[in-house]
Amino acid sequence: MKIMAFYYKPLSTIFLMWTNLFFLCLILMTSSSEAAAATTSYTLDLIHRDSPSSPFYDPSQTRLQRQAGSFLRSIARSSSNLLSAPVSPFSGEYVTKFRIGTPPVEVLAIVDTHSDLTWTQCVPCRDNVDKVIECYKQKTPLFDPRNSKTYRNLTCGSDQCALLDDASPGLLPACDHDQQPCSYYVFYKEEAVDESRSGGDIALETFTFVDGDNIDSVKVVFGCGHDNMGGFVEKASGVLGLARGSVSLVNQLASGGGARYFSYCLTSESDRSDSDAASRIRFGSTAIVGPGPKVGSTPLRKGPGGTVRNFYSVTLEGISVGNQRLEYSSSPKIVKRVGNIFIDSSTAMTVLPSSFYDRLESALVNGTRAKRVPDPRKTNGLCFSKGNINYPVITAHFQGVDLVLSNENTFSEVGVGVVCSTFLRGVSDEPSVAIFGNMHQRNILIGFDLDNHKVDFLPTDCAKPQ
Ligand SMILES: *[C@@H]1O[C@H](CO)[C@@H](O)[C@H](O)[C@H]1NC(C)=O
Ligand SMILES: *[C@@H]1O[C@H](CO)[C@@H](O)[C@H](O)[C@H]1NC(C)=O
């Protein structure tokens, strides 16, 4: 049973009504002038790495092993030194397919809301310092720009190269003068999961998105990576960057005057075996969530800077377990500032600063009234014997909207008769480790509105066609 409901504070409801009215007027006023520019919308499937339709699906893995994997990746994606180097996108959870070039070549990319640049491995793989050919093993054939009629290198003086200027600092464009080729390097933080990087040419290429009978082609600035490292297991060919920088796909797809907006609807684990019930991501005007009585919104805040400045930063005010409300900002290091948690589709679990997590854990132990058992994943998580568990209503209170999290997503069955909480203790007490993970985003249509600086939520059965 999936039950999810929204409760608004009266004040925010009024605010919401006014915003909706404002929007309606805005839409009515601008519809005629925008019609030409914003007709195109794009849709892609989001394939969970552990779903049977994923190229990375390993049927020999048990549920416990998959859970342990997503737990470790969640830890890898959240760390106190996130501010110094970007995390490897290969720890992400969703991949997508699209085509690039003429003739089109299929690309399998990790979808990353923490990356600005979209890049893919390209031949020739150049010698790096050690004179080793550097491309990692990927599932699909490598893209060769020499075989594409539409590929075009960009120079440092071009407007497109300037799109990299406000990218997160992990991305290094290398430009001394205008005629020089626009190139890039992105180094990802070394983590238990992976050491990785990509470097190459910034280029313009035709991207083709296929959604059923709809085939849309669009010119995109991307990184053609000739020097890449991504560990030793077979990987996706690159990254689809969805962060907030100018070079992000969400901004590029809106360059014709369309809405800088994307939304996704993530299906629950039990729906994943059904390939018709794929999670989807949409861009542009058809992606817009609401307005409507059940749509709630929270303001999108500036990221705190450093490598996280283009992340989707929102303000969490507290979490309730049953009637017991824990104030998020009362933890010592979570200063009373706006923007204290990142919404990320690529991290499975919700990671919370350590002292707040500890208080939440106590409340969950008390609220479930169940027997705590050792974590079968050996990751020190909060696990219970399934038999006599009482599921308390857990509510995440974001500024302006309260999200009731479903039991299915807050307690996950990891082994026979054992359920574990999907909240994770952060490696430090800094709010910069905090991530609202994808498990808690399932069956909610979530819209990221970069024009109006807000995130919209609408409870939805994501397995149903929308
Ligand atoms: C793009 O630039 C690279 C070097 O930066 C060069 O090797 C390659 O031939 C160029 N490709 C095209 C199609 O101009
Ligand atoms: C424990 O849970 C009950 C409700 O089940 C609540 O009334 C009580 O305040 C909680 N106590 C603590 C210490 O969290």
Identify the CA nearest to 160 among candidates 188, 201, 198.
201
Active site residue 45: no
Ligand 1, atom nearest to 145 Cα = 13
Active site residue 112: yes
Ligand 2 binding pocket includes 363 (Cβ within 6 Å): yes
Ligand 2, atom nearest to 363 Cα = 14
Amino acid 343: pLDDT: 95
Q: Is the pTM of this model over 0.95?
A: no
Among the listed residues 50, 112, 194, 456, the single catalytic one is 112
Amino acid 204: pLDDT: 98
Q: Residue 151 CA: which ligand is closest? A: 1
Q: Give the per-residue SS3 of 101-151.
A: CCCCEEEEEEEECCCCCCEEEECCCCECCCCCECCCCECCCCECHHHCCCC
Question: Could you identify the residue written with the tokens 């919401």?
Answer: 16
Amino acid 30: pLDDT: 39
Distance CA 13, CA 293 (A): 9
Ligand 1, atom nearest to 203 Cα = 1
Enumerate residues lining ligand 1, CB below 6 A: 145, 151, 153, 181, 201
Report phi then psi at 5, rounded to 5: -140, 165
Q: Where are the beta strands (DSSP E) in 322-453?
A: 324-327, 341-343, 350-352, 372-373, 383-385, 394-398, 401-405, 411-415, 418-421, 423-425, 435-436, 444-449
Distance CA 123, CA 77 (A): 29
Ligand 2 midpoint to CA 391 (Å): 13
Ligand 2 pocket test, pick from 323, 324, 326, 361 with the greatest ligand atom count within 8 Å of Cβ, gives 324
Ligand 1, atom nearest to 224 Cα = 1
Amino acid 323: pLDDT: 93
List average pLDDT for each run of 10 residues in the chain, which is 466 residues long.
34 40 42 43 89 85 82 73 64 90 94 92 78 77 96 94 84 78 81 70 95 89 90 77 95 90 89 69 92 94 78 95 90 69 92 93 93 85 88 95 91 86 88 90 96 96 85
Among the listed residues 271, 344, 375, 429, the single catalytic one is 344
Identify the CA nearest to 456 among candidates 28, 2, 23, 1.
23
Amino acid 175: pLDDT: 80
Ligand 1 midpoint to CA 181 (Å): 8
Distance CA 130, CA 110 (A): 27
Amino acid 271: pLDDT: 64
